[in-house]
Amino acid sequence: MTGQNTRLPAPCGPLSRHAGDLLRDGAPGIAPTCATASVTTSRDAQLALWMLYEPAYRGFEDVADEREWDPDLICFRQGLEGRFEDELRAAAAPLVQSVSDLEDVGDQVLAMAQRASGVSLSSFLRREATSEQIVDFLRERSVQQLRESDPQSFLLPRLSGPAKVALAEIQYDEYGAGDPARLHQTMFAEALEAAGLDASYAAYVDEVSAISLASANAMSLLCLNRRLRGAAVGHFAAFEASSSVPSRRVSAGISRVGLPQVAAAYFDEHVEADAVHEQVAARDLCGGLVDAEPHLHEDVLFGAAVALHLDGLSATELMARWSDTSLPTEAAS
């Protein structure tokens, strides 16, 4: 659960190898060019980004803490971030356009989450997934959920007034509302253990897909760069707004396949919690920020679209993976 035992993951290409070299030795060397057509779907690029962000969170046992602000490391990270952000902005544009008929930013974010089409991963998990597929889903989510809400804590000093109050209110609930047993990260770790998985922080970083890493990295990109605070707020609101109903379905799926109820408890908690959070996030957090800084309105919508875009990519990826192994082809469409 702590980062004390997390070691640098094994590189899977030139970018993650260079990230590891920078973190371990601080030896600048020559940064490899990012030759991949898509940073979003490149496991090498996403693993590199994840490694470069991690010193801001729990750090690595085999990396000096001083490396967090190493100029060569930051420079390499910015290059990858720029490519990643460009791709996300291009992918987000149609989703942003889809809510141009509405004016209120809270309505827009909620509508975007409602209108986002694509395969419903949670419906499949509820009705059809095998126990192994549900465990696979939990494993893929582990890299981001074991530090659930941590990226958004970096946003607090960047907000003021009602938006800050709204975020703090949500975070207090995410962080257990005074009860360590209700800390959502801990509840997810308990769900992993109940499903027979390793609940230690970043245990599966070597195994999860590029998209799972990209989902975690998008939060770091938006939350660690103050200029992107509008997008970070929108991302968080859309993330919360696409959680309550899916959590109910995942919980039902976990019960259906007979995994322990402790594994379902995390999702049960999110049915009620996120029914609250989505309202507070869309109306008070996004609304409050746009009231205070109207020029960030478009960025809020961009961030919301990023969350939904990556959620869609992840659903498509997992459904395709599972259809390859154990399901008839038509189930993937």
Cα 116–Cα 314–Cα 186 angle in degrees, nearest 5? 105
CB of 186 to another protein, least distance (A): 16
At closest approach, how far in Å is the CB of 120 from another protein?
12
CA angle 203, 208, 213 (to 5 degrees): 100
| C-beta closer to another protein: residue 273 or 310 | 273
Binding flag, residue 110, another protein (CB under 8 A): yes
Q: How far is the CB of 24 from another protein (least distance, A)?
A: 42
Contact between 4 and another protein (CB under 8 A)?
Answer: no
User: Per-residue DSSP letters for 17-78?
Assistant: HHHHHHHHH-----PPP---S-STT-HHHHHHHHHHHGGGTT--TTS-GGGGG-HHHHHHHH
Taking CB under 8 A as the criterion, which residues in 246-265 touch another protein? 248
Window 79 to 98, contacts with another protein (CB under 8 A): 97-98
Ramachandran angles phi, psi of 183, nearest 5°: -55, 120
Kindly state whether residue 69 participates in binding another protein, applying the rule CB under 8 A: no
Residue 279 found at the interface with another protein (CB under 8 A): yes
- Residue 327 zone, left/alpha/beta (φ > 0; ψ -120 to 50; rest): beta
Distance between CA atoms of 195 and 261, rounded to whole angstroms?
Answer: 10
Could you say which of 271, 292, 297, 332 contacts another protein (CB under 8 A)? 271
Least Å distance, CB 332 to another protein, is 22
Among 68, 72, 87, 107, binds another protein (CB under 8 A): 107
Q: Assess 283 for contact with another protein (CB under 8 A).
A: yes
Q: Which is nearer to another protein, 110 or 203 (CB)?
A: 110
Question: Using DSSP, how many helices (H) and how many strands (E) does the chain show?
Answer: 15, 0
Q: Is 280 in the site for another protein (CB under 8 A)?
A: yes
Least distance between another protein and beta carbon 273 (Å): 7
Separation CA 330–CA 333 (nearest Å): 6
| DSSP classification of residue 155 | T
Total interface residues for another protein by CB under 8 A: 28
Pull the structure tokens for residue 138.
């939990």
Of 149-188, binders to another protein (CB under 8 A) are 169, 172-173, 177
Sites for another protein among residues 27-56 (CB under 8 A): none
Residue pair 259/131 in contact (Cβ under 8 Å)? The answer is yes
Q: Which residues bind another protein (CB under 8 A)?
A: 97-99, 101-102, 107, 110-111, 114-115, 117, 169, 172-173, 177, 244-245, 248, 271-276, 278-280, 283
